Amino acid sequence: MAEFEVLATRLQAPLHRSPFYEWTFPDGTLGTAFYRIETGYLLRFPDLADFEVAADGLSVICFPAPHVQDATPEHLYLNQVLPLILSKIGKFVFHASAVEVANGAVAFVAQSGRGKSTMAANFVANGYRLLTDDGLVLEPSDQGYLVIPSHPSIRLWEDSQKMVLARNTEAAPPLHFTSKTRFLAGPGLPYCDQPRPLRAVYFLGDGSAQDIIFRRLSPAETLVGWTKNSFLLDVEDRAMMSAHFDRVGALANTLACYHLDYPRRFDDLNRLLRAILDHVATESLRI
Amino acid sequence: MNDIKTFLISPHVLAQEVGEEIVLLDLNSDTYFGLDATGSRIWRLVKEGKDLDEICEALFNEYDASREDLERDTALLTQELIACGLLRQA
């Protein structure tokens, strides 16, 4: 695992070069700018922190912006930087949550804002154990692909918190730049700390469906879906991109995946949970 | 463009076979393209270094279609792939 160090605060001085890549939020605001620097990469989270990542991904130094809360560096590291580093050292990392079910794990793949954390929290609220809130790590094995547990916590918007989590669930200190709260594993948030074989994969739709809809994706749709939802530190590294595309192609040729869309209604979450569990029990993951 | 008969796959394009299809990823534009079974066959022949005449000959031996139709469809597809920057003239 990478060495992570937080140094003193530092002003985010202009870098006099263009980022080679940018992450933007659904509303178009800049979330992260990716720059090349002599020692590797600089990831700039505007007004929050700079992270300098070594070229090999094995060490990370954080320079918080002045006046940010103490918990900000770790928060950004766990949610954004660590998945990118894992991709740099050859791990298979995706924008997806996962929970433990009978005989394995179910993953929910989606871009930000489509409800993958709420989905995972709904399973947790019904006694299933959390494997990851985001940054799903998959590892090929003799049993197929394994879901590797990540940080034992889950981040939820306020409306989801009230609907799906127990009142006594321990929360991390709130942060000013996000209205999501991180809840920590404990009695109110059961967590699975062992790898589990992947049983089913659902790519979450945009919520436009009038009812719960499952649709099996073609291998080509699956390939594009996994690729678009990959964490990748250096998208200009052609050799890495080529290798990643090959590995995702193998994944798409091996696993049957489904599109899942449903009306985003909290009062329908139990029916959604039962529908997913029925679907998992009846559909085969293998192509 | 209609005269182009030899092709190279653009260096910024990744191709992946899934099922009977090929998915192309243009790294410059972060755009995905899908080829059906026949398009995938043509792509593989381009990758083998075949020119337009050789591609049409191979398809004529494999598909139950007229040579004229195959030549027209192959020319249309290769022109479109060139227009999208996925192929270029060798």
User: Does the residue B1 lie in any domain?
Assistant: no
Q: What is the SS3 assignment for B38?
A: helix
User: Does the residue B13 lie in any domain?
Assistant: yes
Q: What is the CATH number of the domain that holds B37?
A: 3.90.930.60
| ipTM of the prediction | 0.86
Torsion angle, alpha carbons of B2, B7, B8, B9, to 10? 70
Most B CBs within 10 Å, among A224, A247, A254, to test the B interface: A224
User: Does the residue B2 lie in any domain?
Assistant: no
Q: Could you read off the pLDDT of A242-262 as tens digits, one per residue?
A: 999 999 999 999 999 999 999
Separation CA B15–CA B28 (nearest Å):
14
Most B CBs within 10 Å, among A227, A229, A234, A244, to test the B interface: A227
Q: For the domain bounded by A93-282, which CATH number is listed? A: 3.40.50
Which tops the pLDDT comparison, B34 or A177? B34
Interface contact flag, B17 A249, Cβ < 8 Å: yes
User: Does the residue B80 lie in any domain?
Assistant: yes
A166: contact with B, CB 8 A cutoff: no
- What tokens were used for A98? 């996962």
Domain of B33 in residue numbering reads as 7-87
Domain boundaries, chain A: 3-89, 93-282
Answer yes or no: is pLDDT of A171 > 90.
no
Q: How many CA atoms lie within 13 A of A186 on its CB side?
A: 12
Our count of domains for chain B comes to 1
Answer yes or no: is pLDDT of A39 > 50.
yes
Separation CA B20–CA B38 (nearest Å):
9
Separation CA A48–CA A125 (nearest Å):
32
Which tops the pLDDT comparison, A189 or B11? B11
Contact A62, A4 (CB under 8 A): yes
